[in-house]
Structure 1
């Protein structure tokens, strides 16, 4: 009886471990998508504290976008933790934001994250500081 109980316990533990391992695996390979930012274009000038609409190309969007959307601001080749928006629909192809109040500089870029990060063209943000 002891052998049967030990074997049954071992079988139960192995089954639980297999179920947990299967649940932890992703459903399949993840798609990597770098949506191309179409606006702002290089040379665009935005004013701080105005509303602007960012646009990107969705014509080649994968069927599954595995990560949540995130938009960050980059300046002089540094992507600081300056989050402009998150959790929006990447398939929409556009997003209206309020331009942050930052120092005037001709070297800003937007970074659009879905499954991958995509740097937009360099543009200018002007402010009164």
Structure 2
């Protein structure tokens, strides 16, 4: 079977028309700002701490309602060791136990529908 350039172009145009006829689903991005730990807070390894974020104004549809918390140090997100996973991003708060990590200055990164980072705080032994 031999295809001509015209057949090829009509095939491509047909595919474009099918794709353009699909319904458009609007997905809103939810980026709730982290509130605590506050700038300058100190967390002790092994202690239980409360992380809070402002979940008061979510969009009607959230693409990914499951949250993940990561530590960020020196501009690098520590993706191999999340602080918490699988929680409802609309909760607005979560208690966590500070793991055995290298003491220093950190930020938390909240990922779910989108990601944002909080203020810097210190982890001590």
Does TM, normalized by the shorter one, top 0.5? yes
TM-score range normalised by the length of the shorter chain: 0.7 to 0.9
Residue 110 (structure 1) aligns with: 108
Is it true that 1:50 corresponds to 2:53 in the alignment? no
Q: Normalising by structure 2, what TM-score? A: 0.76
Q: Where does 1:2-81 land on structure 2 (aligned, <5 Å)?
A: 28-67=25-64, 68-81=66-79
Q: What are the ranges of 5 or more consecutive residues in structure 1 without an aligned counterpart?
A: 1-17
Q: Give RMSD over aligned pairs.
A: 1.8
Separation in structure 1 between the aligned mates of residue 108 and residue 69 of structure 2, nearest angstrom: 7
Greater C-alpha Rg: 1
Per-residue CA deviation, residues 42-88 of structure 1 (Å, 9 max, x unaligned), is 00000001110100001221122211211111111110212111110
Separation in structure 1 between the aligned mates of residue 23 and residue 42 of structure 2, nearest angstrom: 42
Higher percent of residues as helix: 1
Separation in structure 1 between the aligned mates of residue 78 and residue 102 of structure 2, nearest angstrom: 14
